[in-house]
Chains A and B, each alone.
Chain A
Amino acid sequence: MDTPLNDNAPTIMHIDLNSCFATVEQQAHFHLRGKPIVIAAYDSPGGCILAPSIEAKKLGIKTGMRVREAKEICPGVIVRDNDPALVRDVHSKFKKICEEYSPWVTPKSIDEVVIDFASTPALKIGLINIGHEIKKRFRLEIGEWISCNVGISTNRFLAKLASSLHKPDGLDVIDHGNLKKTLSTLKLTDLNGINIRYEARLNAAGIYSPLDLFNAKDLFLKKQVFQSIVGHYWYLKLRGYETDIYDSKRKSFGQEYSLGKKTNDSEKLASLIMMLTEKMGRRLRASEKAAYGIHIGLIYSDWTFWHKGKKFTEPLYTTPELFRKIMHIFALQSGRKIVTKISVSCFDLIDIKYLPLGLFDGDVEKKRKTSLAIDKINDRYGEYVVTPALMMKSKKTILDRIAFGGI
């Protein structure tokens, strides 16, 4: 039997700040407003564009392009660095406003939140009215240049889709009344979670549009198209039912760095790896975890990639412990090619309260406590006040970044 459309009143609101990194920069810097600007990881020609402003987007500049490509499109485009502290501040103000309307506010990334209004008194005001009010308050309480898209629906997937319909500064509702009409105006790749490859897979199964996907039978999606439960989830979420509620648990911590000056000098690389390890270790310890696994990835100047991960029997907690293991893996490279990018990560995490104690390594506990004490000193007096000697020459080389999907 076919599942009918979810005809309940919408209770989910998805809010997405427009061109967040760039808009925030324009809010803070009055003279950047109304101009095509891009926020790039680095302002060198090869720097990756993290966010173009609304004006730059209108010219065809897209996220993921290189600065060089953006300058080919618009030679006068202004390139700015990312300002994580500023963006995080806007995020916290934006989340605080949303929390006044419902206790169930879930940040999906630095510029997106989902609000669940089920059983809240706010429902009586009406979600469209609340959406307009939130937009107004963002402008009044955060900054007049801050605009957002609001999407309202019965589940998170359709609410996000609604928020992407009229950019920038839109407010749209998708419910059982307009669902099919809305889907008929979209391409498959407009749906969140379907990229070009996924589209090809759907095309191979005879699905060419969101409406085709909507009309496909549950069993067909589950058994033939997706060949997993994912097909059933697509069937449900396109009908307005919730399938995306889950607690995501952190499974790893990682840092990466693109080298300004490419090198194969082992000492310099070790110094950078130490820097990355220290940052990663600080985050690991702050979340009260230790890791059993370590991974390192290197991109070379000839664009080849080498990576290796390894699991160990003893948990790693202090920066020296993590660094020793990373360097052990690093030494396994077959040659010494010129490196352009380094990434390190640790995985297979365990809560420190469950850390096993070794029978013969009595000073491990002491080292762990020393590591925590050093972290506290750095928390109090500023980042990298006390560091391993290997980092002396490269202090503050590794910049603060906001990861995609992170805060």
Chain B
Amino acid sequence: MNEKVFEKISVITSYNVEKNQVIPHKIRWQLRDYFIKKLSYYHKVRDGRTLLHIFDVTDGNLDFRLRFNSDDLTWMLEEISDGYTT
């Protein structure tokens, strides 16, 4: 199952100065907390001049694609998937 969500969410992150890396640790979506176990991939994309930071993370059960908008400093859950076909 792979579902596009595009909902604003709450996120707790940390910043590692040695690695110069931001890591999401916990997200709250639809009143449920998900604890992130792994940052699978990070990349940046531009929508016009707006810089969007994309974090692909997993809590061990589900994969989440999170988007941080550097213009308005908001987090959005873009996509959720469990790695199965249906």
Listed in ascending order, the chain A residues whose CB lies under 8 Å from chain B are: 27-32, 35, 76-80, 85-86, 89, 143, 378-383, 385
Count chain A CB atoms within 10 A of each CB in B43, B49, B50, B58 and give the residue with the most: B43
Known contacts A381-B49, A382-B50: A78-B41 contact under CB 8 Å? no
Sample of 11 A–B contacts (CB below 8 Å): A28-B40, A29-B40, A30-B38, A30-B56, A31-B82, A32-B81, A78-B84, A80-B2, A85-B54, A86-B54, A383-B47
List the B residue with the shortest CB-CB distance to A87: B43
Q: How many residues of B are in contact with the other chain, CB < 8 A?
A: 22
Report the bound CA distance from A380 to B46 in whole Å. 9
Report the bound CA distance from A85 to B83 in whole Å. 21
Q: Contact between A29 and B48 (Cβ–Cβ < 8 Å)?
A: no
List the B residue with the shortest CB-CB distance to A76: B85
Given contacts A31-B82, A143-B40, A383-B47, 17 further A-B contacts (CB under 8 A): A27-B40, A28-B40, A28-B56, A28-B63, A29-B40, A29-B63, A31-B58, A31-B81, A77-B85, A85-B43, A85-B45, A85-B54, A86-B54, A89-B45, A379-B48, A380-B49, A382-B48
Q: Contact between B48 and A378 (Cβ–Cβ < 8 Å)?
A: yes
B74 CB → nearest A CB, Å: 16
B45 CB → nearest A CB, Å: 5
A379 CB → nearest B CB, Å: 7
Helix, strand, loop or mixed for chain B's interface?
strand
Q: Is B32 an interface residue (CB 8 A)?
A: no
In the bound complex, residues from chain A placing their C-beta under 8 Å from that of B85 are: 76-79
A83 CB → nearest B CB, Å: 10
Report the bound CA distance from A86 to B52 in whole Å. 13
Compute the total of residue contacts between A and B using a CB distance below 8 Å: 60
Listed in ascending order, the chain B residues whose CB lies under 8 Å from chain A are: 2, 38, 40-41, 43-45, 47-50, 54, 56, 58, 62-63, 65, 81-85
Contact of A385 among B38, B44, B48, B62 (CB under 8 A): B48
Q: Contact between B48 and A31 (Cβ–Cβ < 8 Å)?
A: no
A289 CB → nearest B CB, Å: 23
List the A residue with the shortest CB-CB distance to B61: A31
Report the bound CA distance from A78 to B85 in whole Å. 5
Report the bound CA distance from A27 to B57 in whole Å. 10
Report the bound CA distance from A58 to B58 in whole Å. 27
In the bound complex, residues from chain A placing their C-beta under 8 Å from that of B50 are: 382
Count chain B CB atoms within 10 A of each CB in A31, A89, A378 and give the residue with the most: A31
Contact of B83 among A32, A77, A378 (CB under 8 A): A32
Contact of A89 among B43, B47, B82 (CB under 8 A): B43
Report the bound CA distance from A154 to B79 in whole Å. 46
A53 CB → nearest B CB, Å: 12
Report the bound CA distance from A89 to B41 in whole Å. 10
B52 CB → nearest A CB, Å: 9
Q: Contact between B43 and A86 (Cβ–Cβ < 8 Å)?
A: yes
A395 CB → nearest B CB, Å: 14
In the bound complex, residues from chain A placing their C-beta under 8 Å from that of B47 are: 382-383
In the bound complex, residues from chain A placing their C-beta under 8 Å from that of B65 are: 28
List the A residue with the shortest CB-CB distance to B2: A80
Contact of B41 among A28, A35, A76, A379 (CB under 8 A): A28
In the bound complex, residues from chain A placing their C-beta under 8 Å from that of B82 are: 31
Report the bound CA distance from A380 to B48 in whole Å. 4
Q: Contact between A78 and B83 (Cβ–Cβ < 8 Å)?
A: yes
In the bound complex, residues from chain A placing their C-beta under 8 Å from that of B49 are: 379-381
Count chain A CB atoms within 10 A of each CB in B40, B44, B63 and give the residue with the most: B40
Q: Contact between A31 and B41 (Cβ–Cβ < 8 Å)?
A: no
Report the bound CA distance from A221 to B32 in whole Å. 70
Q: Contact between B83 and A31 (Cβ–Cβ < 8 Å)?
A: yes
A71 CB → nearest B CB, Å: 9
In the bound complex, residues from chain A placing their C-beta under 8 Å from that of B2 are: 80
List the A residue with the shortest CB-CB distance to B58: A30
A265 CB → nearest B CB, Å: 28
Q: Contact between A30 and B40 (Cβ–Cβ < 8 Å)?
A: yes
Known contacts A89-B44, A382-B47, A382-B48: A35-B56 contact under CB 8 Å? no
Report the bound CA distance from A30 to B49 in whole Å. 30
Report the bound CA distance from A73 to B43 in whole Å. 34
In the bound complex, residues from chain B placing their C-beta under 8 Å from that of A35 are: 83
Closest 7 pairs (CB-CB, A-B): A31-B83, A382-B48, A89-B43, A28-B56, A30-B58, A28-B41, A381-B48
